[in-house]
Amino acid sequence: SPLKGRKAIITSGPTIEPIDPVRFISNRSSGKQGHAIASLLSKLGAETHLITGPVNIPYPENIKVTEIDTAEEMLNACMRSLPADISIFAAAVSDWRAANQSPKKIKKSNNRNTDMNILFEQNADILKTISKTNKNRPKLVVGFSAETENVNKNSITKMKKKNCDLIIANNVSKKGIGFNSDYNEV
């Protein structure tokens, strides 16, 4: 067990940001990649904590799991999990949330010409918060970069901006690769 005595935090799956009690914004993350990474780290002996958004796959055995919905919940769970030796941020976190979430279902208007506008605000950057501003920064911080263009350039910029030790660049513009797939290309 080469990682015996080490503590690892893995984020996985999507986050969902409510617009009202029945609608939300999210993405197509299945959680497969993050769950597989958590499973392997556990098998290598690390005390592994998986922080996951809503997924339809089984959780790996012998690991601590925290289920979350929103980016804010994921950030709070990550902060509570520190200190850690290894942190791998594989979750596809929603960058934005509704600025004014409605406590009631937003109803359609009978007037088809009525527009509904949703104002968005940025979520906190979990990867950046853990790697840059936290006194308990893990020894190894790994991020993921899902890109549709300029994959290498954008990913290197992200790695520097967010102070990661390593970034995994995913070209998600290719059909059948990345989101909602069993295959990935990095």
What amino acid positions are annotated as catalytic residues?
Answer: 27
CA distance 143 to 164: 6
In degrees to the nearest 10, what's the CA dihedral of 104, 106, 111, 115?
140
Q: Are 16 and 54 in contact (CB under 8 A)?
A: yes
Question: Who contacts 26 (Cβ-Cβ below 8 Å, separation ≥6)?
Answer: 14, 15, 16, 17, 53, 94
Amino acid at position 5, single letter:
G
> What does DSSP say about strands 47-52 and 7-12: parallel, antiparallel, or unpaired?
parallel
Closest CA to 127 of 139, 146, 141, 147: 141
Q: Determine how many CB atoms are found less than 10 A away from the CB of residue 85.
A: 15
